Amino acid sequence: MSRKNWIVLVLMLLVGIGIFAFSLRNTNLTRLSYDLAHLNWGWFLIAVLCICLYLGLEGVVVKIFMTDRYPSFTWKDALRLPLIEQLFNGITPFSTGGQPAQLMAMLQSGVEGGLASSVLLMKFVVFQAMIVINFLISILIGFHYIAEKLHALSLFVLFGFTIHLAVIIGLLMVMYWYSFTKRLVKTALVPIRWFGGQQRYQKIWERLDTKIDTFYQESVKMKREYHKLGKVAVVTLLQLLAYYIIPYFILLALGVNGINLIMVMSLHVLIFMIISLFPIPGGTGGAEYSFSVLFLSFTHSQSKLVLAMFLWRLLTYYFGMFAGMFAMMIKPDKVEN
């Protein structure tokens, strides 16, 4: 990690501590201590296992994609990738640092750059598709609730979904309308030539042209490997379900009973959409606010709500970052070419 990354990491930890401290301003600390002392550690352990399962299943996806390309790519390196992704997603705006960090980790293992990029791209495509499917189900179940509680922020949910859907549509266009998509992208970049100059336009176009070609070549192979794609889709779906169910077990750990599992998971899906739109790393601020507002109706205890928010962020954000720091210290195995 660079010095800049360390500074951002420390800054995000301090901001997180500040937000938690601010949340305690109207909280009875004696009651909070009581709730923490009476936490059901069995249910909380299940929540911890869920986040471990979420990260582990992403490693399974990597291994599935790499098995026929690099049979010597080890499970250790496959499980190392999602941890590194979590770290760099957590310290970069809009989680943009995860993909480059994974690419560097694969290059450290000796994987050829073009193939590594293709595998990460395929993993990204399936992940985005499963997010869209989960969102469509969740919006039918819980959007009326989020619109009532978050008002204007509900528009962020729809905007977030629109972005994810646009990404999937764009990738499908490359797969099935390759030439047309290249012409469309080139036409869309014309304003850059008007305002940014020919050199800037050419540089951006060449970079996008290479990415489109790389994705198309891999998508041709993917069409022939539909069995593998189906397997990855199932694993990714299970991965996301393990993530979305975490608040349910946290609430059970705090003694909140009679809660609707499907509603809790649906609200977590919608929170995920809100977080993805906040430019601050990890969606800090927006994540805590949306969680506290949406889950307020599940418990009328302010101390339990604040504690639930803290435990949720600890598992879904900070746990991955600290695990990523540990993964960075692990020396990768070298694949056999």
Alpha helices by DSSP H, listed for 197-301, are 198-224, 226-244, 246-253, 261-277, 286-294
pLDDT tens-digit map of 99-123: 889 989 999 999 888 788 878 888 8
Asked whether the beta carbons of 277 and 160 are under 8 A apart, the reply is: yes
Annotate 315-331 with b (16+ C-beta within 10 A) or e (fewer).
bbbbbbbbbbbebeeee
pLDDT of residue 151: 62
* Mean local confidence (pLDDT), 295-306: 86
Expressed in angstroms, the distance from the first to the final Cα of the chain is: 27
**Cα of 109 vs its chain's centroid, Å:** 23
Q: How confident is the model at residue 262 (pLDDT cuts 50, 70, 90)?
A: confident
Token output for 234: 């199932």
- DSSP secondary structure string, 132-180? HHHHHHHHHHHHHHHHHHHTTHHHHHHHHHHHHHHHHHHHHHHHH-HHH
* Mean local confidence (pLDDT), 203-232: 80
pLDDT of residue 324: 93
Q: Minimal CA–CA distance to 47: which of 284, 308, 233, 222?
A: 308
Q: How far apart are CA 283 and CA 124, in angstroms?
A: 20
Q: Which residue has better confidence, 259 or 311?
A: 311
In angstroms, what CA-CA distances link 204 with 96, 98, 215?
18, 21, 17
pLDDT of residue 154: 67
Token output for 172: 């499908």
Q: How far apart are CA 286 and CA 279, in angstroms?
A: 10
pLDDT of residue 115: 81
Widest Cα–Cα separation across the chain: 65
In the predicted structure, residue 149 carries a pLDDT above the cut 70: no
Q: How far apart are CA 157 and CA 153, in angstroms?
A: 7
Q: How confident is the model at residue 169 (pLDDT cuts 50, 70, 90)?
A: confident
pLDDT tens-digit map of 73-96: 999 999 999 999 999 998 888 777
List CB contacts of 150: < 8 A, sequence separation 6 or more.
157, 274, 290, 293, 294
Q: How far apart are CA 133 and CA 236, in angstroms?
A: 12
User: What is the sign, positive or negative, of the torsion defined by CA atoms of 38, 320, 125, 81?
Assistant: negative
Q: Minimal CA–CA distance to 20: which of 308, 330, 316, 337?
A: 308
Q: How far apart are CA 195 and CA 192, in angstroms?
A: 5
DSSP one-letter code for 269: H
- The number of residues in the chain equals 337
Q: How far apart are CA 92 and CA 102, in angstroms?
A: 14
Q: How confident is the model at residue 136 (pLDDT cuts 50, 70, 90)?
A: confident
List CB contacts of 330: < 8 A, sequence separation 6 or more.
76, 80
* Mean local confidence (pLDDT), 58-76: 91
pLDDT of residue 95: 78
pLDDT of residue 175: 77
List CB contacts of 137: < 8 A, sequence separation 6 or more.
266, 269
